């Protein structure tokens, strides 16, 4: 579900999703500007993450072209060393991390958290003891939307 403020002039053109509940996409026109909104829930398994992220990048986002894109959700993967505290060290060469970074670069996206908080840790998940905390949820926007 993607809620909109009642005062926004929103025209939803198309809402494709997948059969596994991994993404929902809304092609919209908001106040006369075309914006593609995508919400994702990536798999936990690292091998499935790579397959999912590659398909998302090539098959789903690839069809959006240079549209204004807002991509957010639970990616279940880290981007860098600032995204984790506790537990085993972050391996930033992990295949899913490499794939997520490639998606960000390919679609010219901006990590909104890092843009606004370049040196801050902002965990979105923690284990019950709070000894391991990670930023697994991300919100990316097209660079042209950075303002």
> pLDDT tens digits for 68-96?
999 999 999 999 888 999 998 877 668 99
Domains of the chain: which residue ranges? 10-145
Q: Looking at the domain 10-145, which fold is it?
A: Deoxyribonuclease I; Chain A (3.60.10)
Beta carbons within 8 Å of 43's beta carbon, 6+ residues apart: 22, 49, 52, 76
pLDDT reported for residue 26: 87
pLDDT reported for residue 1: 63
Sign of the CA dihedral with 75 first, then 147, 123, and 125 last: negative
């Amino acid at each position: 579900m993607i809620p909109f403020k009642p005062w926004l002039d929103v025209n939803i053109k198309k809402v494709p999703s997948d059969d596994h509940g991994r993404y929902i996409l809304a092609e919209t026109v908001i106040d006369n500007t075309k914006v593609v909104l995508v919400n994702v829930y990536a798999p936990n398994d690292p091998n499935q993450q790579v397959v999912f992220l590659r398909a998302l990048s090539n098959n789903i986002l690839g069809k959006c072209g240079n549209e204004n894109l807002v991509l957010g959700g639970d990616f279940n993967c880290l981007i860098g060393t600032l995204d984790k505290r506790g537990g085993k060290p972050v391996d930033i060469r992990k295949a899913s991390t490499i794939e997520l970074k490639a998606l960000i670069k390919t679609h010219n996206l901006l990590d909104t958290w890092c843009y606004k908080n370049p040196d801050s840790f902002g965990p979105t998940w923690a284990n019950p003891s709070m000894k391991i905390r990670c930023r697994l949820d991300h919100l990316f926007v097209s660079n042209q939307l950075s303002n």
